[in-house]
Chains A and B, each alone.
Chain A
Amino acid sequence: MPILQPIGRTVLAFLETVGRLSLFTAISTSHCMRPPFYPRLLLRQMVEIGYYSLPVVGLTAIFTGMVLALQSYTGFARFSAESAIPNVVIVSITRELGPVLAGLMVAGRVGASMAAEIGTMRVTEQIDALDTLATNPFKYLVAPRLLAGVTMLPILVLTADIIGVFGGYLVSIFKLGFNPSLYIKNTWDFMEALDVISGLVKASVFGFLITLMGCYHGYNSKGGAQGVGTATTNAVVSASVLILSSNYLITELFFAR
């Protein structure tokens, strides 16, 4: 049946990818927990992911907070519920917008860069060179990136939460005419630890997924420049899709009644 052949091939290819990715994840995770560790490389990756992503994540957060306040006001004014704006801003930012938008921005910046760097190392035989120098590429290249992703994303998201809420505050005070102390009091009163914690847990999972996708696609890239380009695109797309789908699952886990 010729019509079944492409379906079969697609299913087999999908299963092969799932199997390969599962193995890659298992090996990478195990190397994160076993010595030798490379603190110098870990620090470099933490700076790369955490520090250098701050501007883009900060800008995203402040404008998101500002737009959120503005849009909420447009909607809530119809029901005379403008006072709920601080509550909406803090919940939206800490639970969803902070981690998801920061995750997507870091996926674009860091995931792409990791896939390109490791992919180039693959096609120029630098990963083979690591092997011949008795250095495990999983331990040397993948583990520090995964650890840095898991630890730095929550810090980035916490920063994004603060900046995002501040963006909402700016618009509410200077454009919508809210009382500053009342806005801060409402924000503080409505903020719950679980909202922030769920956002940080999401951030940690997103950090893992972003770095895993960057490393996986880079490590398995083939060919020359075109292969590295494909790996970079795949890393960003797959990380973004995984962020959005895992976001739903984690939300279910924390808040489903």
Chain B
Amino acid sequence: MTPGPSNEGDPNEGPPNQASPAESASRGGPQSPKIRIRDLYKSFGTKHVLSGMDLDVGAGESVVVIGGSGSGKSVTLKCVLGLLQPEEGSIQVDGEEVVGLGGESLELVRRKFGMLFQNAALFDSLTVWQNVAFGLIQGQGMARRQAREIAFDRLTAVGLEAEVGNMWPAELSGGMRKRVGLARAIATSPDIIFFDEPTTGLDPIMGDVIDELIVKCVRELGATALSITHDMASARKISDRIAMLYDGRIIWAGPTAEIDRSNNPYVDQFIHGRAEGPIASMVNA
């Protein structure tokens, strides 16, 4: 993971510090990861979004993938969830291969997941409590009355009043929608929770509130968390490890505390939000 001085900042040479699978695991990655992504390729037409991505997420660990807009962060999550099929590569969840799964096998794997979507993705036609209880009723076949009780408990856990439960998603503010989305993500007590840009569109204070809730909920559930964001304050707060996705690959991965000492010009430019640097020069090229 030491930077290669010869190609530092040279766009034609590609980003330095390409983290190999072994390197990723060695930098705090676990030996038997909860999620194991290897050599993942995904393209849309001629645009190559993922080009050999590797990532490990250990059980009980909170990993944040950072990267610019369009770098493939959301695509990664969708590939793991089976919403998109990669062209090549392997994704294992608890040792089970997910790529190529379909039907009931995929549904069984998905029951391990909870997900907070970028814009919460609440169902407009259902009330708030029905949204939260959806996975319990439809996914697990729980009785409505019992699911309703759990839904209200979860709403309380994310700091929402009981009367919010009977409101419609259209009546909620952005922050409230995120909280409801979080309550829905944790309602089924999943093993793994994905957070897609959890603070996007929120003011800094509300963003911090959501981050606190994410940390609290993940800790209480003992879940494994994989988040994607380009909000560095959020990334530092909710992660044990950070991985940076650039040019379709993880170019750096390590403990959160080490990101300021990454010695990677791409990571440095990104975390400090500088316009000048290797990423900008690639964009402007």
Binding site for B on A (CB under 8 A): 117, 120-121, 124-126, 128-129, 131-136, 140
Bound Cα distance from A125 to B135, whole angstroms: 16
Binding site for A on B (CB under 8 A): 78, 81-83, 107-108, 110-111, 113-115, 117-119, 121-125, 134-135, 138-139, 184, 188, 194
**Residues A135 and B139 in contact, CB atoms below 8 Å apart:** yes
Q: For A125, list chain B residues within 8 Å (CB).
A: 117-119, 121
Q: For A134, list chain B residues within 8 Å (CB).
A: 107-108, 110-111, 135, 138-139
Q: How far is the CB of B207 from chain A (nearest CB, A)?
A: 20
Q: How far is the CB of B115 from chain A (nearest CB, A)?
A: 5
**Given known A-B contacts A134-B111, A134-B139, A124 and B121 have beta carbons under 8 A apart:** yes
Bound Cα distance from A121 to B81, whole angstroms: 18
**Residues B121 and A133 in contact, CB atoms below 8 Å apart:** no
Bound Cα distance from A131 to B77, whole angstroms: 13
How many pairs, one residue from A and one from B, have CB atoms within 8 Å of each other in the complex?
55
Nearest residue, chain A, Cβ from B136: A133
The 8 closest A-B pairs by CB, nearest first: A134-B139, A125-B121, A129-B121, A133-B135, A135-B138, A132-B115, A134-B110, A134-B107
Q: For B83, list chain A residues within 8 Å (CB).
A: 128, 131-132
**Residues B107 and A128 in contact, CB atoms below 8 Å apart:** no
**Residues B138 and A133 in contact, CB atoms below 8 Å apart:** yes
- Name, among A124, A125, A134, A136, the residue most crowded by chain B CB atoms within 10 Å (CB to CB): A134
- Name, among A126, A129, A132, the residue most crowded by chain B CB atoms within 10 Å (CB to CB): A132
Nearest residue, chain B, Cβ from A125: B121
Bound Cα distance from A129 to B138, whole angstroms: 12
Q: How far is the CB of B150 from chain A (nearest CB, A)?
A: 14
Q: Which of A117, A126, A140 contacts B121 (CB 8 A)?
A: A126
Q: How far is the CB of A184 from chain B (nearest CB, A)?
A: 45
Q: Which of A117, A121, A126, A129 contacts B115 (CB 8 A)?
A: A129
Q: For B123, list chain A residues within 8 Å (CB).
A: 121, 126, 129
Q: For A124, list chain B residues within 8 Å (CB).
A: 119, 121
**Residues A140 and B124 in contact, CB atoms below 8 Å apart:** no
Q: How far is the CB of A171 from chain B (nearest CB, A)?
A: 43
Q: For B118, list chain A residues within 8 Å (CB).
A: 125
Q: For A121, list chain B residues within 8 Å (CB).
A: 123-124
**Residues B117 and A131 in contact, CB atoms below 8 Å apart:** no
**Residues A133 and B134 in contact, CB atoms below 8 Å apart:** yes
**Residues A128 and B121 in contact, CB atoms below 8 Å apart:** yes
Q: Can you name 17 extra interface pairs (CB under 8 A) apart from A117-B125, A133-B134?
A: A120-B124, A121-B124, A124-B119, A125-B117, A125-B118, A126-B124, A129-B122, A131-B82, A132-B113, A132-B114, A133-B184, A134-B107, A134-B110, A134-B135, A134-B138, A135-B138, A136-B107
